[in-house]
Amino acid sequence: MTEETTAPNGVLVDYDVRKVMAALPHRYPLLLVDRVASLTLNERIHAVKAVSMNEQFFQGHFPGRPIMPGVLQIEALAQAAGVLAVESLGLAGSGKLVYFMAIEEAKFRNPVEPGVLLDLHVEFTQKRSRVCKFAGKAMIGDKVTCEVSFTAMIADA
């Protein structure tokens, strides 16, 4: 995190895919965050996944009616939470990773089809030095596609 990318109110700006890749170990085809629209340190993140027909999972899920698997929506939310945790806890370059521990109360509301921007909204619900809890909601416009609570652990790679 640099001064040029942090506004005075603690909101990160100009956070493109290169910065996402610097914060996360994920790479294509499992990198599911394309950019960060806004990130308020120690509070919340709004990230975006551009869902394209070129995604590998659409080949088999489902032929004739491509739908993004719910588990990948949760993974996209978890990756957004990873960016939030890395930035908020100052973990960039530390060699630490953010690992899933638990997924709770997952609900799928609407299908995600190719050609949309999937908005990923995640906020801290509890933050400790090694374990964090999050609430996440994936949306297309004002329609919720998925909502979930999950827990992650900060640990060595």
How is the chain split into domains, by residue range? 3-156
Tokens of 7: 């506004």
Just list the catalytic residues: 61
Instruction: Give the mean pLDDT of 84-111.
Output: 94
Backbone torsion region of residue 156, taken as left when φ is above 0, otherwise alpha when ψ lies between -120 and 50, otherwise beta? beta
> Mean of the per-residue pLDDT values for the chain?
93
pLDDT in tens, 29-54: 999 999 999 999 999 999 999 999 99
pLDDT at 1 > cutoff 70: no
Kindly report the pTM of this predicted structure.
0.93
Q: What is the pLDDT of residue 120?
A: 98
pLDDT in tens, 139-152: 999 999 999 999 99
The number of CA neighbours under 13 Å toward the Cβ of 6 is 10
CATH of the domain spanning 3-156, picked from 3.40.50.720, 3.40.50.150, 3.10.129.10, 3.40.50.2300: 3.10.129.10
